[in-house]
Structure 1
């Protein structure tokens, strides 16, 4: 079982995820981030996964990559450019493959960060992104 809660701090949304998650519940986390961003108008989201463990296999995450890409395309149309930092516990590697794959597959620049340090994740979120040379 997993649980998602959210709060607004300064100019960012904090999504806290607890419990065991899979690639399917990962999709729900993305949907919740989009919903809350749309409601609040905020474009900075910290997804705190320090109390969540990912139990899906690497193959399951690889197979779900197209779902993530489709959701990201829809999210960009709904909310515009958001910056999302994923915060994981220092000793937890259960999210690394999924989040690295997600970040690598999405054709967005400087909008995702995978971090194990809360202070640097918050600092990155609040910094202005580099202009896209594209």
Structure 2
């Protein structure tokens, strides 16, 4: 999901009076608002602190079992620096932490277990 799509999704669900904003305005209006926000520096990270993510990446010596892939982790920090926005995740099994850039989502880090399992199967077979 792109930053623009994420903003549009959030805007459509935003409460405005008794109804969500998306039910009160056309999709074109919501798109214009999202574009305006992005143009003026609003950032919509693909995850939030506390989200669960999955990865097939580990370090030698961590004693994580290959059969346990994909590894479950929790987002504990999001860093926005305008160049390589990133997140720190803590692995559920061993409490070790790794940093992933937003660009690694879909390659080394996944938002769902299913996406991680699919990538693992493609790389194995």
Please classify the TM superposition score into its range, dividing by the shorter chain length. under 0.3
If each structure's helix is expressed as a fraction of its own residues, which one has the higher value?
1
Larger Rg: 2
What TM-score does the superposition give when structure 1 sets the normalisation length? 0.26
- With structure 2 as the length reference, what TM-score do the two structures score? 0.27
Which one has a larger percent strand, Structure 1 or Structure 2?
A: 1
Which gives a bigger RCO, structure 1 or 2 (Cα 8 Å, sep 6+)? 1
